[in-house]
Every structure is written in structure tokens, then in C-alpha cells.
Amino acid sequence: MAPEVVKLDPADIAGGRVEFGSFPAKLEAFNVQTYAGKHVQLEGCSPTWAHLLVAGKLVPHVAALDFVIDDGKEGKVVEVYRK
């Protein structure tokens, strides 16, 4: 059975706007166990650095990780990691 696919936006972790000064602390407090064993798709308009920080924290826990790049239509899925 394929793992559950869930979408995650770094802005959800930040509680709104992603700001460099406060985001690392919010990410440190983020419970990655919610996503353990799942296929996570990172999406949203947050800065690239925020997506990379989230990816780095999730990779040890998730079954798969993708970036969803919005092309103004449907978005393109870029595979980043598979167990």
C-alpha cells in the first residue's frame, strides 16, 4: 500500500508569513512525527530557503518528499526523496 500523500506549506509552520528571523525557531518546535511514514508534498509561495529547511527536517522521517512548483496552472511535482 502506498503511503498517504499530504501537502505542507512552510507558511503553516510559521503561522502565516515566513520570516528569516523567526522561522528557524518555529521549525525547531514543529512536530515532524505528524508526517512520519507519509508522502509529503511541500508547496506554497514561501521562500526557497524555507522549503529547503523543512525538507531537511522531514527527510529522516517521511516515506517520500516532493516539491510542488506552481507554474500558474496545475503545479509541477519534483521528486526530492524516496525511501
Per-residue pLDDT of the chain (83 residues; tens, 9 = 90+): 888 999 999 999 999 999 999 999 999 999 999 999 999 999 998 999 999 999 999 999 999 999 999 866 777 999 999 99
3-class SS of residue 34: helix
* Burial label, 18 (beta-carbon count in 10 A; 0-12, 13-18, 19+): buried
pLDDT of residue 75: 78
**Of 17, 10, 20, the residue nearest 40 (C-alpha):** 10
C-alpha cell of residue 45: 509561495
Give Cα 26 to chain centroid, integer Å: 14
pLDDT of residue 1: 82
Beta strand pairing call for 39-42 and 76-82: unpaired
